[in-house]
């Protein structure tokens, strides 16, 4: 088991392999489908690049009191290219099958949570008008993650709970 603290550098992420289990402490960026569609809209309309994604671990999901729900769907897959172009280092997903194409192309990784994600704190960082679907920065401590797609595109099946 490897212990990683925020920030997760791209160089460290590229050295992780599918057999690795990571204990992570730090922040992540939580993005809902609605928030990401708005990010794409502003990027196309005005050329705005969201700086809050650069160098971060991105989680597609929603938050309930102190718990995080990861809801990465196969329909999110086309968003991976944009997430990695915007500079995200990794994504967190519990989807059993995702194409490894984008991970290999951009040399990024995908984590799957090994346990429930307990949120220590969260704050809205963009699109507050979306309320609970706004972009949020969350803090986690000692979160166990398994590498399911590494930067070379090697994969490992995710066992869903």
Q: What is the pLDDT of residues 77-115, one digit of tens each?
A: 778 888 999 999 999 887 766 778 888 999 999 998 888
- Domain residue ranges of the chain, discontinuous segments joined by +: 2-27+53-121+138-149
Residue 123 burial (C-beta neighbours within 10 Å; 0-12, 13-18, 19+): exposed
The Cα–Cα gap between 151 and 16 comes to 8
What is the fold of 2-27+53-121+138-149? fumarase (3.20.130)
Full-model pTM: 0.87
Q: What is the pLDDT of residue 96?
A: 63
Question: Which string of DSSP letters, residue by residue, matches 51-93?
Answer: GGGTT-EEEEEEEETTEEEE---GGGHHHHHHHHHTT--EEE-
């Amino acid at each position: 088991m490897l212990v990683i603290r925020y920030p997760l550098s791209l160089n460290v992420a590229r050295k992780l392999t599918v057999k690795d289990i990571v204990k992570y402490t730090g922040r992540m960026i939580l993005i809902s489908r609605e928030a990401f569609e708005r990010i794409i809209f502003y990027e196309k309309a005005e050329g705005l690049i969201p700086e809050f994604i650069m160098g971060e671990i991105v989680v597609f999901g929603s938050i309930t009191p102190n718990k995080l729900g990861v809801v990465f769907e196969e329909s999110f897959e086309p968003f991976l290219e944009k997430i990695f172009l915007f500079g995200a280092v990794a994504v967190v997903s519990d989807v059993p099958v995702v194409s490894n194409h984008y991970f290999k192309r951009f040399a990024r990784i995908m984590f799957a949570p090994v346990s429930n994600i307990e949120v220590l704190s969260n704050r809205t960082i963009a699109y507050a008008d979306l309320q609970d679907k706004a972009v949020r920065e969350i803090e986690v401590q000692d979160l166990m993650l398994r590498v399911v797609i590494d930067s070379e595109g090697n994969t490992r099946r995710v066992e869903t709970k």
